[in-house]
Structure 1
Amino acid sequence: MTRLRGTILAAAVPLLLISACAQTAGNSAAASPDARDSSAAPYPQGLVLRVESFGGFVPPEHNLGRLPAVSIYADGRMISEGPTTAIYPGPALPNLLEQMLTPEMVQDLVKKGQEAGVRNGADFGSPNIADAPSTRVVAGDQSVSVVALSEAQASDPNLTTAQRTARNKLAAYVKTLESLSGAPGVAAPVAYVPDSVAALVRSYVDPQGEEPKSPEIAWPGPTLPGPEMNPGLGIGCVDVTGPATAKVLTSAKTATTSTPWTAGGAKWSITFRPLLPEEKSCAALKGVR
């Protein structure tokens, strides 16, 4: 979003931006804020707000399969990660929740994002810390990526006073977005049911010493392992779409992150990445840092 001058323009631009996104998508929101009517037209897919992490010292499949913490769309739909059970191995499917925000809330959050420093080219510095993830924040048509937003020390010598102040403001805004699920005026959450899923596939390696073993499950979807993702990772990706989506999701509900999936006489490990409204296939995950 271009730099705003004057209080009238500052108030008007978020509204115009959100209206433009909705018009571009060419669809209207579902009538009920609490549930999606499957017979209704698809939601508008203009992304307005997002918080996501990337990079850091994690396995490649974790980065490729990582979901944004919060995504908010032009129609007010919010998709976020809900709580998970602290057990190992964890469930195969992430706990994604869908809620609705009012247009006024979305407009206000876009405005507050700008006030918190979400502007293209903003300077947040580079702290003296290795292997930390970066946080990307989108607000309207502006975005920033900040290395070690929550990990950097307040006294980091590589950061100026202005950079520390900017980081604190942005971190507080991120916390606000990540806490919206229980905020007043936000509709009660329902499970997000994706239209398609990216299955990130790699050869199964028996986790030595793990007890109890996760039972095998026959893979009900398209042929594994699929085309390789980023070169050298040894990770394929399969687009699960159409009728296969329901079959795969049903099987995955009983699986864990350690489940061996059997197909073609081989065993596979699968990371399930539900695709968000603007994501259509595995191609959306290629090049993820």
Structure 2
Amino acid sequence: MKATLAVRAALASLLVLGAAGCAQAADGAGKGSDDQFAFPGGDTVALRVEQVGGFVPPAYLASRIPMLTVYADGRVITEGPVTMIYPGPALPNIQVRRISSGDVQKLVDQAVKAGIGTKQDLGQPGVTDMPDTVITVHTADGDKKTTAYALNEEIRTDGLSADQVAARRKLLDLVKALTDLDTTLGKGAVGQSEPYQAKTVAGLASTYQANPDAGKQAEVAWPGPALPGKAFSEGLDLGCVAATGDQATAVLAAAAKANQLTPWTSGGKTYSVAIRPLLPDEADCAALAW
């Protein structure tokens, strides 16, 4: 009798473990059987591809969304399709998907094998005012980073050697692979896309400038911390505030009904505000400084 009860208990334990494993695999966050992933925390950035700099307005520089951010726990955050209307919506379309931690490690390995963080001669194309593409990967030896100026589909050969062009092509192929995970990791490896729910929202405020061609825009009272906030640098018409808790909820609700030309009022003044939900590894406005 005791033996029978022991067998039943063992079978019950196996069923519980099996169910937990199925649930973990279903949300795309389960670990592979040979997984050796050991990042220090869920909000640790395992891999990021972003563009920085370029000749664009300061508010755009600060509010730009990384092309791809992969976190240690398997979250993948990107910017989704942009509505082709003018003025565009006030809120960026930030999406989150999930992959297994084993696949996170595959992407990290792919970036390391492509030479991210090693010295590469990428040359300097003969163009001006273009952004840098920055790829950062987290490894056991710390973060490794590679920066490439003016890296895009139309690779310019002006002033570049054949080796430099080949190196840039290899880096561009890596960016394509990392930003097309359905192809890179295979069918079913990436979970469904869902809207990203930010806990902190930054408001990048500058003096309001109306656009007569867009018509008069309805004013909206800013529900977050008082604008314009702390300036990014002395003499620059751009401040930043970070809303959390109930204020973050209120900002997101108001922004969902606003557009990029909405005049926001605060303290008797009117501002243009670029609204930037902060990503999990971004604590406050300091994370957006360039």
Shorter-chain TM band: 0.7 to 0.9
Partner of 2:25: none
Partner of 1:218: 221
Tell whether 2:260 aligns with 1:257: yes
CA distance in structure 2 between the partners assigned to 1:247 and 1:128 by the alignment: 46
| 1:99 Cα deviation after fit | 0.7
Residue identity matched to 2:67 = A
For structure 2, the 5+ residue unaligned runs are: 1-34
Larger Rg: 2
Tell whether the 8 Å contact from 1:202 to 1:268 is kept in structure 2 after alignment.
yes
CA distance in structure 1 between the partners assigned to 2:157 and 2:65 by the alignment: 31
Tell whether 2:150 aligns with 1:148: yes
Q: TM-score, normalised by structure 2?
A: 0.82
| 1:106 Cα deviation after fit | 1.2
For structure 1, the 5+ residue unaligned runs are: 1-14, 26-43
CA distance in structure 1 between the partners assigned to 2:78 and 2:180 by the alignment: 10
Tell whether 2:62 aligns with 1:59: no
Structure 1 187/129 Cα, relative in aligned 2: closer, same or farther at 3 Å?
Answer: same
Spell out the pairing of 1:175-194 with structure 2 (5 A cutoff).
Answer: 175-180=176-181, 184=187, 185-194=189-198
What is the root-mean-square deviation in Å for CA atoms of aligned residues?
Answer: 1.6
| 1:169 Cα deviation after fit | 1.0
Residue identity matched to 1:273 = R
CA distance in structure 2 between the partners assigned to 1:257 and 1:154 by the alignment: 33
| 1:49 Cα deviation after fit | 0.7
Q: Once the two structures are aligned, what percentage of the paired residues are identical?
A: 41
Spell out the pairing of 1:1-289 with structure 2 (5 A cutoff).
Answer: 18-19=37-38, 21=39, 24-25=40-41, 44-140=42-138, 141-150=143-152, 153-156=155-158, 158-180=159-181, 184=187, 185-211=189-215, 213-286=216-289, 288=290
| 1:152 Cα deviation after fit | 5.8
Counting matched residue pairs gives 249
Residue identity matched to 1:48 = A
Residue identity matched to 2:195 = A
| 1:104 Cα deviation after fit | 2.1
